[in-house]
Amino acid sequence: MQGGGPALEDGGQLRASGTSRGDDVSAANRPLSRRAGPRPDHLRDAEGMVEKRGRRLRSGSLGAALAWIGPSYAIFLAIMAFPAVWNVAISFFSVSYGRDSFVGLANYRAILGSGQFYSSLWLTLYWTASVMVGQFLVGLGLALLFNRPLWVTKYLRPLIVIPWALPGIVAATSWTFLYSQNGLVDQVLKSLLGIAPAWLSSPTLAMPAVIIAGIWKGAPFYFLMLLAGLQSIPRELLEAAQVDGARRLRVLVSIELPYIANVLTVTLILGLIWTANYFDGIYLMTQGGPINATMTLPIWIYNTAFSSFDLSEASALSVILLLIVLVLAVPALGRREAT
Amino acid sequence: MTRRLKHVGLNVVGALAIVFMLVPFLWTILESFHGSDVFAPVLSLFRPSLSNYRYVLLHTAIPREFLNSLIACASALAVSIPVACMAAYGYSRLRFRGRSVLFYGVLITQLLPATALVIPLYRVWSLAHAFNDLVALGVAYAAVNMALAILLMRNFFDNLPRALDDAANIDGCSRFQTFWYILRPLVMPAVAASAVFVFVNAWQDYLLASSLITNSADFTVNVGLYAFEGAFTTDWGAILASSVLVSVPSVLMFALAQRYFVRVASGGVKE
């Protein structure tokens, strides 16, 4: 893996030159008359659209497709798609002692009738919203800071990103250690404010404590994405704003953020999916406790399946979670398509 | 004056953010070299000691679990990379009915909560008698990360000029020869990057391993570390040293792939 860095660099250059060459080829071969075909799905990658049609005649046999894509699809169907569909099926059955019986919507009715569902739903929304806002603010702050050519940015950047590369268990361990009695947080708070709350064993403080750890773990992702976006803004644009005497905040809100709106939306969508479904860090720090104070939906699903062994109710819950994430993510996706 | 104050304020906020991002894990690293005295007052004298690492490497299951994780990750790579590379070529170069449906079918599963996947997988595994099989776990990792690897490599194939294919075709190369001798060497950067991502994701996994591996001799390092923490809650020295050891491979790999990641995530998902 030692050659990884430079090899990737080469790839970047190759990629850029490849794009332009590819454009030339397809543009040269493209007869005008074929452009008008009513194929909306091809409008998006309009380059080489005719070329595609020609190729389909020459080599578009299903056999070839099967040979190249088949192996990946076999694995995908067996381990992702089939279980996912089965999961939905299980949610309509009652599974106990190896005997499955169809119960219709009973599992869903049981879930919607239980108080834990609404408390877990609230905790999931609370967790997702706070973590996303926190990660966005920390990531944006860091990206703005590191967007300036300072000596710190060069040496600290790789270190800043470490939390994202850590296994969930390591992140959870580091924070549990920080929050533990006589740990660093305790020592600092005691000397500054004279208080020493028991973070992870307090029902009111456990959730904020876990949220802070969650922000820490995921902020590097926002940082990397937003920094990449900010660095793509043309300097002239910012200089023009400066000449016009725009204030820093004004530049951020009126120029920088709108310019990187696309990157921002992708970041937020991925962040939403990952955060709402996040399991490792919370579970490994608190198992959902104390007194269910951190029992977000993913944790509840896991406990229902592997502690109470109620697989069918857990399946129904995971379908509900998927629907919630979809409901939250689809408008954002639609917005992205519109821009 | 207020302008200058604001500038200072921004830098203070930035510095706080940096401290927030750096301190937790650095503190873990620092204290792992602190022998058994991990809760000593912050400003006390620090005498570095390797005793925690010696203990973890000689007297715990962590080294063996490290090996188990490597086996699972290696199987994940061995399965996912060749298969995903072929699929990426297919999605990029072949035109057939339903191509985009198939492709987006793979992508959409990324929305699934991992916890939703674990429940049916648990049943699939019991049907296949695949529990405690590290290679089977690797295949599961391969499946979970397949979409990412295909996406990454397909974008790379897409950006290779078709003229290359045509030239090879005219010179009498078969489709497979074109793939193997002409295009494959050119997509190696994307292959390397996908390999890094599959490895890092597999190395970080707790959820799948914890439900598909039940025998403690076959625990991966994450599950093993969690079990160790449960059994020896007070042995913070050993726990911290293990944590540092467990994070080394994924941090190293991630450092190598970081630049590429941004390009993939900000451009690749765009479609």
pLDDT in tens, A119-178: 999 999 999 999 999 999 999 989 888 887 777 677 788 888 899 889 999 999 999 999
pLDDT in tens, A74-100: 998 888 888 888 888 888 988 765 677
Instruction: Provide, as residue numbers in chain B, all residues whose Cβ is less than 8 Å from the Cβ of A167.
Output: 203-206, 222, 246-247, 250
Most confident of A35-39, A266-270, B106-110: A266-270
- Model pLDDT, residue B42: 66
- Model pLDDT, residue B136: 92
Instruction: Tell me, yes or no, if B261 comes closer than 8 A to chain A by beta carbon.
Output: yes
Question: What band does B83 get if pLDDT is binned at 50, 70 and 90?
Answer: very high
* Listed residue (A275, A266, A253) closest to A144, CA to CA: A253
- Model pLDDT, residue A134: 96
Q: Where are the alpha helices (DSSP H) in chain A?
A: 4-28, 40-43, 49-59, 62-76, 82-90, 106-113, 115-146, 151-160, 162-165, 168-179, 184-193, 206-231, 235-243, 248-251, 257-259, 261-276, 280-286, 297-306, 311-338
Question: What band does B203 get if pLDDT is binned at 50, 70 and 90?
Answer: very high
* Domains of chain B by residue range: 59-268
Look at the domain B59-268 and name its fold: MetI-like fold (1.10.3720)
Residue B213 has pLDDT above 80, yes or no: yes
Instruction: Provide, as residue numbers in chain A, all residues whose Cβ is less than 8 Å from the Cβ of B250.
Output: 165-167
Among A15-29, A309-323, B52-66, whose mean pLDDT is lowest? A15-29
Element (H, E) at A79: none
* Listed residue (A225, A335, A45) closest to B103, CA to CA: A45
Nearest by CB to residue A168, choosing from B123, B159, B204, is B204
> Average pLDDT over chain A, rounded to whole?
79
Specify whether the CB–CB gap between B157 and B131 falls below 8 A. Answer: no
Instruction: Provide, as residue numbers in chain B, all residues whose Cβ is less than 8 Å from the Cβ of A161.
Output: 254-255, 258
Q: Which residues contact B9 (CB under 8 A, 6 or more apart)?
A: none
Q: Count interface pairs A-B at CB distance under 8 A.
A: 338
Q: Write down the CATH superfamily of domain A109-338.
A: MetI-like (1.10.3720.10)
Specify whether the CB–CB gap between A286 and A309 falls below 8 A. Answer: no
Most confident of A118-132, B45-59, B95-109, B227-241: A118-132
ipTM over 0.90: no
Among A40-44, A187-191, B11-15, B235-239, whose mean pLDDT is lowest? A40-44
Q: What percent of chain A has pLDDT over 70?
A: 78
* Domains of chain A by residue range: 109-338
Instruction: Tell me, yes or no, if B182 comes closer than 8 A to chain A by beta carbon.
Output: no
Instruction: Tell me, yes or no, if A99 comes closer than 8 A to chain B by beta carbon.
Output: no
Q: Please give the Cα distance from B194 to B228 (Å, whole number).
A: 32
pLDDT in tens, A283-330: 999 988 798 999 999 999 999 888 888 888 898 999 999 899 888 887
Residue A221, judged by CB atoms within 10 A of its CB (0-12, 13-18, 19+), counts as buried
Fill in the amino acid letter for B156.
Answer: F
